Amino acid sequence: MATYTTNYNLQKPDLTDNANINVINSNMDIIDSAMKNLDFAENFQNHIIDPMPHRMTDGVTTYKYGFKVVDGGLVFEYEPI
C-alpha cells in the first residue's frame, strides 16, 4: 500500500506495487510547482536588491515602481526614469 511524503504529499508506492505512470506524472507536477516557488524566492531577492524593479508608463513618461515598508506599513513608491 502506498504512503505519502510529509511535505509535498508525493505518493510513494510500496515495493510490491506496479509502477503507475499517472502517479509518477502527478509527483512530477507537484515537484515542478514547488521548484517554480523557488523562482519566486529568487525574484523576491531581486526586489531587495532593486526596491523598484517594475516599470509602467502613462503613455508619455515611463516610471519605475515598487513597495517598501515604512513604520510597519506598506508604501507604494515610484519615480520617472
Q: Are residues 12 and 28 in the same domain?
A: yes
How would you write the pLDDT of the chain (81 residues) with one tens digit per residue? 889 999 999 999 999 999 899 999 999 999 998 888 777 777 777 777 888 888 999 999 999 998 888 898 888 999 999
Backbone dihedral angles phi then psi of residue 35, each to the nearest 5 degrees: -70, -35
57 and 41 both lie in a single domain: no
Q: What's the structural domain count of the chain?
A: 2
Q: Are residues 20 and 59 in the same domain?
A: no
Both 34 and 63 in one domain: the answer is: no
Residue 16 contacts by C-beta under 8 Å, 6 or more apart in sequence?
none
**Are 15 and 36 part of one and the same domain?**
yes
Same domain, 18 and 40: yes
Q: Which residues pair with 62 in a beta bridge?
A: 57
Tell me: do 13 and 36 sit in the same domain.
Answer: yes
2 and 41 assigned to the same domain: yes
* Domain interval for residue 72: 51-81
Statement to judge: residues 1 and 33 lie in one domain: yes
pTM greater than 0.85? no
Contact indicator for 67, 74 with CB cutoff of 8 Å: yes
